[in-house]
Amino acid sequence: MNSELLLMFTLGCDRAYLYAHPERELTPEEQSRYEAALAERTRGVPAQYITGHQEFWGMDLIVSPAVLIPRPETEHVIEAVRELAGVARVGGQACPERSRRECPPHTIRIADVGTGSGCIALALARELPDAEIHATDISAAALEVARANAARHQLESRIQFHQTDLLAGLKPDFDFIVSNPPYVGESEEDQVQLEVRKFEPRVAVFAGPKGIEVITRLISQAQAALRPGGWLVMEISGTISEEVRGLLDGWEEVRIAPDLQGIPRVARARKPRG
C-alpha cells in the first residue's frame, strides 16, 4: 500500500490510473523521485509527511512535521459535537440545548484547543455553518499549517486562530470546548510507535510525565470558559479514561464513548447550569 501510495504521489495520479496503465514506465527523473520517497519511508518517515497530505472528514488536508497527522478516531469528536449541537436548531442556528424554550436563538461559539492541522476546527466549520469558531495552538508552526488548510477549503473567514496556551486570553462563554489534546505520558514513551516518537511533534503527543497533565489544566480552564450548560468534548486514551472521569466529577451528563476498536476515546461533559 505504501509503495502504491508513493507511486501515485510521484506520478501525481490516482489508483485507477495506476491499474489502467500497467505498461507505463517511469522516466529516469520519476524513478529517482520515487526512490527518494521510498527511502524516506524506509527510514520510518510517515507516508503522510512524505506526500504532505492526509484526509480527514472527507477533506484533503496539508500536513507537515509541524503537526500531528489527523487520525480517523478523531472523527468521533466531530460526530459527538454534531450530535450535541444538532439536537435542536433554532432559526437555522445549531443549538446545544434540547428545547427551544431552554435555548433562545444565538450563534453557537466553539473553541478547538490544540488545533494542529486544523482538522477539528475545519470539520466543525463545515458541519455548523453558523457557528463562531476559534482555534488555538501553542505552536506557531502548527497554526501556519492550520491557516493554510482553512484557506485551501475556503474556510478562513470562518475560523479565528490564536497562538496561546490552551484557552488563555479568549473571551469566555463558549457553547463548546473541543479538543484532541496531547495525552500520552512520558513514562509510557517506550510503548509509543517508533514512527510517532521519532517524527510527530513531541508537543502534540506528550502531555507530561503521566499523560493527564494537559487535560487537567484544560478541564479547569474549560470550567471557566464555558457558558452554563455548555459542553466539553475531548479525545482521550484508554489509559487515562478513569482519571479523566474523576476530573469531571461535578460536571453533568459525563460520558466516555469508545472508538471502533472499543477503546474509551471521546469524553463529553456538560457544565452545570445551576
What is the C-alpha to C-alpha distance for residues 232 and 226, in angstroms, rounded to an integer?
8
Q: Do the Cβ atoms of 78 and 127 come closer than 8 Å?
A: yes
Q: Check residue 181 for interaction with ligand SAM (CB under 6 A).
A: yes
Contact status: 136 vs ligand SAM (CB under 6 A) = yes
**Which residue shows C-alpha cell 489544566?**
217
CB of 47: closest distance to ligand SAM in angstroms? 16
How many CB atoms lie under 10 A from the CB of residue 269?
Answer: 26
Is the Cβ of residue 106 or residue 162 nearer to ligand SAM in the bound state?
A: 162
Which one among 48, 54, 115, 149 touches ligand SAM, defined by CB under 6 A? 115
Using rule CB under 6 A, residue 182 touches ligand SAM = yes
Of the candidates 201, 164, 169, the residue with the CA atom closest to the CA atom of residue 182: 201
Nearest distance from C-beta of residue 121 to ligand SAM, angstroms: 8
Q: Which of 50, 61, 62, 70 binds ligand SAM (CB under 6 A)?
A: 70
* AA letter at 83: E
Number of CB atoms found within 10 A of residue 56's CB: 22
Choose one: 21-29, 42-50, 110-118, 150-158; the region binding ligand SAM (CB under 6 A). 110-118
| Measured CA distances, 94 to 66, 107, 137, 207 (Å) | 33, 8, 25, 33
> Which among 43, 41, 38, 68 has a CA at the least distance from the CA of 56?
68
Min dist CB 147 to ligand SAM, Å, is 13
Please tell me whether residue 138 binds ligand SAM under the rule CB under 6 A.
yes
User: How distant, in Å, are the alpha carbons of 183, 199, 252 from that of 20?
Assistant: 44, 35, 56
- Cα angle 36-41-47, degrees, rounded to a multiple of 5: 110
Q: In the complex with ligand SAM, which residue's Cβ is closer, 181 or 258?
A: 181
Nearer of residues 169 and 228 to ligand SAM, judged by Cβ:
169
Closest to 117 (Cα-Cα) out of 27, 12, 201, 208: 201
Closer Cβ to ligand SAM, 50 or 69, answer by number: 69
Q: Please, which residue, 192 or 203, has the CB nearer to ligand SAM?
A: 203
The C-alpha cell at 18 is: 495506476
Work out whether 185 is an interface residue with ligand SAM (CB under 6 A).
no
**Residue span binding ligand SAM (CB under 6 A) among the ranges 5-13, 64-72, 82-90, 97-105:** 64-72
> Whose Cβ is closer to ligand SAM: residue 50's or residue 120's?
120
- Applying the rule CB under 6 A, the residues between 139 and 158 that interact with ligand SAM are 139, 142
Torsion of CA 29, 35, 38, 43, to 10 degrees: -120
Residues constituting the chain: 274
Element (H, E) at 57: none
Toward ligand SAM, which CB reaches closer, 84 or 146? 146
Q: Give the binding site for ligand SAM (CB under 6 A).
A: 67-68, 70, 74, 113-117, 119-120, 136-139, 142, 165-166, 180-182, 203-204, 214
